[in-house]
C-alpha cells in the first residue's frame, strides 16, 4: 500500500516537473518569436530610413553593441540566404548543362580568387546610385560584400555533389522517370546536403572576415558607415578605446557561439539523415537546443495541428486528379539554359571589354610594379602557410590523437577559425609598434592569425581519422619518435594537410588586403604588396589600378592552384589515401 502510494506520488511529481519545464521552454519560444518579430520590424525601419552614409557611433551607450550585433548578424544571414540561392541555381546549372559547365566552373574558380575589396567600390557606388534616398542601397552593398566571402565554396560543393551522384541511384531516377524537379528534390539535394551543410558553416565564418571593411569604408573623400559590430570596432580603434575593442570582440565571439549552438548544431543533427554511408560507427551528433525544443508543448501542438491540416487537405485533394508535377518539358529547360548561357556570355564579353578599357590606362611600368608586388605578397602567403604548418601539425596531432583532448578542443578550434581575425589586428599592431616589428614582417603574422586555424583543424581531423590498427602496429613494433612521425603520422594526415594548405593560402591572399594596409589610431600603415595596392586603389577610387592588381592577384592565385595545389592533391590521392 505504501509502496503503491509512493509510486503514484513519483508519477505525479514527474508529471508536474515535466510540465513545469515545458512551460519554461514554451515561454522562451514565445519570447524568441516576439523578439524576432520586433527585430524584423526594427530592421525594416533601419533599411527604409533616410540615407545616412555615415552614422555617429556612441561607444558608451550600453545598448549600442547588442543592437549592432543583431544588425551584423542579420546581414550575415541575408547574405547566406543569397549565397544558398546562388549556389543552388549556379551549381545545378553547371552540373547539368555540359556546354555551360565549361565556362561556369573556371569562372567560379576566378570569382573565388577575387578579393572582396575589389568588388567593393563598384558595387557600393552602383547601389547607392540606385537607392539615393534610403539605406537600402548601402545595406544591400554590405550584404553583397559578405555574399562574395560566402558563396563560392558552397557552390563548388553543390556542383561536385550533383555530379557525383552514384550511378545506380541515378539509374533509378531514370528508369522510374523522375522529372528534373523530383530528381532534384528526392535525389540530388539530399545527396548534397551533408557537403552543403559543412560548407555553409565554413562560408558563414568566411563571410565575417571582412566585417570591419564591409560596414565601414572610405571611398575617395566619402566615408561610409553602417551600424554593426564591424563599424563599432572601427570607431573603437580610431578612438584608441581598448575597452570598447574588447567588448566588440566579446560580442563577436558570443554571436559565433550562438550561431554554432542555435543554428548549425541543429542543422548538422538534422542533416545526419542524409548520410550516404550506412552503419556508421561514429556516434550520432546531438544538440541540446533541439532536445529543449522537443520538450516544448507548444511546438508539438503546432506540429500535430500541421499534420492534421495536411491530411485534411490531402483528403480534399484525393477526389481531384493528380496535381500535375512541375514538369517543364525538357526542351524548354535546355532552351532556357542556352538562353541564359548566351546572356552570361554577352555579359562577360561586355565586362571584358570594359575591363580592357580600364586596363588601357595602366602604364607598362605600373604593370611591372604590380607584378613585383605580387611576388612580395606571394612570399608572405607562403611564409604564413609554412609558419602555420610548423606549429599546427604538432599541435593538431597532439589534439587529434587523444580522443579526450579532441572532444574538448575541436569545437574551440572551430570557433577560433570562425572568428574574423582582422578584428584582432589593432590589438596585435599595438604589440608590433611596442616591439618595433615592421609591418613587412608583421603582416605575415597578421595573415597567420587568420589562416592557421584551417591548417590546425584539418590536421586534427586527419589525426582523428588514422585507423586504430595502424597506430597499434606502430606501437607494437616500437616505432617511436621521429620515425613514427615520418612513417605514420605525416603520411596519414597529408591529404588533410593539403586541404588545410589550400584553404589557408586562399585565406592568406584575402587577408593580405587588410594585413598589408592597416589603419591604426588615425594613421595608415602600409608595406609593399599586392594587398596594400588593392586597398589603396580602392580607397582612392583608382579603378584602373584596382582592376590591374585584381587581375594579377586572380591570375597568380588561379595559376598557383592549378600547378602547385592540384599536384599536391593528386599526390595525396595517389600515395597517401587511406581509403583504398
Partner 1 sequence: MTTAPAIPPAAPAGDVLCEERGVWQQFPQPNGRPLRVLEDINLAIHADEVVALLGPSGCGKSTILRILAGLIRPTRGEVFYHGQPLRGLNPGVAIVFQSFALFPWMNVAENVGMVLKAARLPRDEIKHRAEQVIGMVGLAGFEQAYPRELSGGMKQRVGIARALAVDPEILLLDEPFSQVDALTAESLRAEVIDIWAANDRNPSSILMVSHDIKEVAYMADRILILSANPGRVRTVLANAQPRPRDYRSPEFLRLVDQLHELITGHEMPDVDEAAQRVAATLEPLPHVSTSEIIGLLEYLDARGGREDIFRIASDTNSEFGRLISIVEAAEMLDFVDTPKRMVVLDVRGTEFVKVGPEDRKAIWRAQLLQLHIFRLVSDALKRQPNHKLDRDFVLETIVMHMPHENYERVFHTLVGWARFGNLFAYDDDSGMITLPLGS
DSSP, collapsed to helix, strand or coil, labels residue 127 as helix
Smallest gap from Cβ 174 to partner 1, in A, equals: 6
Q: Closer to partner 1 at the Cβ: 127 or 194?
A: 194
Q: Of 332 and 350, which has the nearer Cβ to partner 1?
A: 332
Neighbours of 139 (CB within 10 A): 23
Q: Are 439 and 519 in contact (CB under 8 A)?
A: no
| Closest distance of CB 279 from partner 1, Å | 6
d(CA 472, CA 475): 5
Nearer to partner 1 among residue 279 and residue 283 (C-beta): 279
Nearest distance in Å: CB 278, partner 1: 4
Nearer to partner 1, 181 or 356 (CB): 181
DSSP state of 188: I
**At closest approach, how far in Å is the CB of 277 from partner 1?**
9
Kindly tell me which of 169 and 410 has the beta carbon lying closer to partner 1: 169
**What's the min distance (Å) between Cβ of 198 and partner 1?**
17
Closest by alpha carbon to 373, among 559, 221, 535, 228? Answer: 535
Q: CB of 176: closest distance to partner 1 in angstroms? A: 4
What does the alpha-carbon distance between residue 418 and residue 184 come to, in Å, rounded to a whole number?
31
3-class SS of residue 399: helix
Give the relative orientation of helices 64-96 and 189-208 as an angle to the nearest 10 degrees. Answer: 140
Question: Do the Cβ atoms of 179 and 36 come closer than 8 Å?
Answer: no
**Pairing, β 523-526 against β 517-520:** antiparallel
Give least dist CB 195 to partner 1, A.
Answer: 14
Kindly tell me which of 324 and 522 has the beta carbon lying closer to partner 1.
324
The residues binding partner 1 (CB under 8 A) are 166, 168-169, 171-172, 174-179, 182, 186-187, 190, 273-276, 278-279, 314, 317-318, 320-322, 324-325, 574-575
CA dist 16 → 3, 23, 26, 514, 529 (Å): 20, 11, 15, 57, 67
Which of 133/275 has CB closer to partner 1? 275
Q: What is the DSSP letter of 524?
A: E
| Cβ at position 188, least distance to partner 1 in Å | 11
Asked if 326 and 181 count as a contact pair (C-beta separation under 8 A), the reply is yes
Query: Which residues neighbour 284 within 8 Å (Cβ) at sequence distance 6 or greater?
Result: 269, 272
Cell of 31: 519570447
Measured from the CB atom, is 3 or 574 closer to partner 1? 574
Amino acid at each position: 500500500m505504501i509502496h503503491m502510494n509512493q509510486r503514484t506520488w513519483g508519477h505525479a511529481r514527474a508529471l508536474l516537473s515535466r510540465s513545469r519545464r515545458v512551460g519554461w521552454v514554451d515561454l522562451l519560444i514565445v519570447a524568441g518569436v516576439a523578439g524576432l518579430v520586433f527585430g524584423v520590424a526594427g530592421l525594416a525601419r533601419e533599411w527604409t530610413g533616410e540615407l545616412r552614409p555615415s552614422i555617429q557611433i556612441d561607444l558608451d551607450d550600453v545598448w549600442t553593441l547588442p543592437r549592432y550585433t543583431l544588425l551584423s548578424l542579420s546581414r550575415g544571414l541575408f547574405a547566406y540566404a543569397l549565397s544558398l540561392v546562388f549556389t543552388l541555381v549556379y551549381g545545378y546549372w553547371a552540373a547539368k548543362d555540359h556546354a555551360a559547365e565549361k565556362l561556369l566552373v573556371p569562372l567560379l574558380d576566378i570569382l573565388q580568387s577575387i578579393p572582396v575589396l575589389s568588388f567593393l567600390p563598384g558595387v557600393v557606388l552602383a547601389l547607392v546610385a540606385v537607392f539615393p534616398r534610403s539605406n537600402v542601397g548601402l545595406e544591400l552593398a554590405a550584404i553583397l560584400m559578405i555574399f562574395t566571402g560566402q558563396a563560392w565554396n558552397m557552390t563548388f560543393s553543390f556542383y561536385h555533389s550533383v555530379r557525383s551522384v552514384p550511378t545506380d541511384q541515378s539509374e533509378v531516377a531514370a528508369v522510374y522517370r523522375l522529372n528534373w524537379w523530383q530528381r532534384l528534390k528526392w535525389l540530388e539535394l539530399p545527396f548534397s546536403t551533408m557537403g552543403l551543410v559543412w560548407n555553409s558553416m565554413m562560408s558563414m565564418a568566411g563571410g565575417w572576415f571582412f566585417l570591419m571593411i564591409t560596414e565601414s569604408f572610405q571611398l575617395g573623400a566619402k566615408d561610409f558607415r553602417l551600424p554593426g559590430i564591424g563599424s563599432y570596432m572601427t570607431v573603437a580603434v580610431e578612438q584608441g578605446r581598448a575597452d570598447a575593442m574588447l567588448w566588440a570582440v566579446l560580442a563577436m565571439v558570443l554571436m559565433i557561439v550562438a550561431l554554432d549552438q542555435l543554428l548549425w548544431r541543429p542543422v548538422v543533427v538534422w542533416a545526419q539523415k542524409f548520410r550516404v554511408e550506412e552503419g556508421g560507427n561514429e556516434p550520432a551528433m546531438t544538440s541540446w537546443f533541439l532536445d529543449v525544443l522537443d520538450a516544448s508543448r507548444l511546438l508539438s501542438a503546432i506540429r500535430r495541428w500541421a499534420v492534421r491540416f495536411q491530411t485534411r487537405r490531402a483528403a480534399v485533394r484525393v477526389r481531384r486528379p493528380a496535381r500535375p508535377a512541375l514538369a517543364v518539358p525538357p526542351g524548354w529547360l535546355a532552351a532556357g539554359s542556352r538562353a541564359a548561357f548566351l546572356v552570361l556570355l554577352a555579359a562577360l564579353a561586355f565586362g571584358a571589354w570594359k575591363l580592357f578599357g580600364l586596363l588601357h590606362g595602366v602604364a607598362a611600368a605600373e604593370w611591372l610594379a604590380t607584378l613585383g608586388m605580387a611576388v612580395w605578397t606571394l612570399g608572405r602567403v607562403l611564409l604564413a602557410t609554412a609558419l602555420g604548418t610548423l606549429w599546427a601539425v604538432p599541435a593538431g596531432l597532439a589534439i587529434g590523437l587523444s580522443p579526450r583532448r579532441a572532444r574538448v578542443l575541436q569545437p574551440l578550434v572551430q570557433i577560433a577559425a570562425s572568428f574574423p581575425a582582422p578584428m584582432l589586428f589593432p590589438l596585435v599592431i599595438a604589440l608590433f609598434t611596442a616591439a618595433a616589428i615592421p609591418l613587412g614582417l608583421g603582416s605575415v603574422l597578421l595573415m597567420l592569425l587568420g589562416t592557421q586555424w584551417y591548417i590546425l583543424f584539418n590536421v586534427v581531423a586527419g589525426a582523428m581519422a588514422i585507423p586504430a590498427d595502424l597506430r597499434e602496429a606502430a606501437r607494437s613494433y616500437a616505432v617511436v619518435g621521429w620515425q613514427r612521425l615520418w612513417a605514420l603520422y605525416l603520411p596519414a594526415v597529408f591529404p588533410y594537410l593539403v586541404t588545410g594548405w589550400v584553404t589557408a593560402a586562399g585565406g592568406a591572399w584575402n587577408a593580405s588586403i587588410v594585413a598589408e594596409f592597416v589603419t591604426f589610431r588615425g594613421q595608415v600603415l602600409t608595406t609593399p604588396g599586392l594587398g596594400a595596392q588593392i586597398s589603396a586603389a580602392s580607397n582612392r577610387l583608382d579603378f584602373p589600378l584596382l582592376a590591374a592588381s585584381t587581375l594579377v592577384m586572380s591570375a597568380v592565385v588561379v595559376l598557383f592552384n592549378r600547378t602547385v595545389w592540384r599536384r599536391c592533391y593528386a599526390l595525396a590521392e595517389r600515395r597517401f589515401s587511406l581509403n583504398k
